Amino acid sequence: MKNEFIITVYTENHIGLLTRITVIFTRRKINIESLTVSESAIPGIFKFTIVINETKAQVTKVVGQIEKQIDVLKAFFHTNEEMIYQEIALYKVPIEPIYESDTIESIVRNAGARILEITKDYVVIEKTGHKKDTQALFEQLNEFKVMQFIRSGRVALTRDPIERLSEFLKERDAFLNSLD
């Protein structure tokens, strides 16, 4: 059975690595639902957060193939339940219909959204949450005909009390030093 999995990959910061990782999915015809890349808390180490819908057996193999790449330090996978995650969405809504309606205040308040910018033509609203939450707000705001909408890739943290990468790096450094 296919489920949503969050794959977290820690890598060196090398050009071409994004392709090296994504072709592992492409080759197996696995669609990447969401992808976020940014520098981790450890300088020089980058973190990929990848969301896919797959069976556990397939995600296990894919993570094995990712970890095999030379510039990859470590790759993990988790179910949604094992992680705390968020996505951010921005909505640009025309000012005119909002002006004429009396629901915008309750929509924004109930969604826990906030307003980033107001001009004479539009309002930009921001909401952070899971996809179903940001999608629900989209449906509501679309009454006013949303002009532009963008949702980010997912960012996620584990519920583990320890930072597994730091542990891993400590062990790895100790091992490499033992080689000298």
Partner 1 sequence: MTAQKVTGSQALILSLLEEGVDTIFGYPGGAIMPVYDALYDYDKEVKHILTRHEQGAIHGAQGYARVTGKPGICLATSGPGATNLMTGIADAMIDSTPLVCITGQVASPLLGTDAFQESDIVGMSIPVTKWNYQVTTPEEIPEAIAQAFYIATTGRPGPVLIDLTKDAQFGELDFEYKKCTKIRSYVPETHVDPHQVKAAADLIDAAKKPMILFGHGIIIGRAEDELKAFIEKTGIPAAWTLMGLSALPTEHRLNVGMLGMHGNYGPNLLTNQADLIIAVGMRFDDRVTGKVSEYAINAKIIHIEIDPAEVDKIIKADVAVIGDAKKALHMLTANVAENNHDAWVEEFRKCDVIEQEKVISKDLYPTKPGLTMGEVVRIASEKTNHEAILVTDVGQQQMIAQRYFKFKNSRSNVTSGGLGTMGFGLPASMGAQIGAPDKTVVAMIGDGGFQMTIQELGTIAQNKLPVKIVILNNNFLGMVRQWQQLFFERRYSFTELQNPDFITIAKGFGIEGHSVSKRENLEDSVQKMVDHDGPYLLEVIIEKEDNVFPMVPTGASVSDIILEP
Which residues of the chain form contacts with partner 1 (CB under 8 A)? 11-12, 15-16, 19-20, 23, 27, 60-61, 64-65, 67-68, 70-73, 172-173, 175-176, 179
Distance linking the first and last C-alpha atoms of the chain: 47
Question: Are the C-beta atoms of 66 and 19 separated by less than 8 Å?
Answer: no
Nearest to partner 1 of 102, 180 (CB atom): 180
Nearest to partner 1 of 61, 131 (CB atom): 61
Nearest to partner 1 of 45, 88 (CB atom): 45
Burial of 18 (0-12, 13-18, 19+ CB in 10 A): middle
We find the least distance from the C-beta atom of residue 9 to partner 1, in angstroms, to be: 11
Q: Which two tokens stand for residue 164?
A: 């597994």
Q: What are phi and psi of 46, to 5 degrees?
A: -100, 155
Q: Which two tokens stand for residue 25?
A: 């999915």
Nearest to partner 1 of 24, 107 (CB atom): 24
We find the least distance from the C-beta atom of residue 63 to partner 1, in angstroms, to be: 9
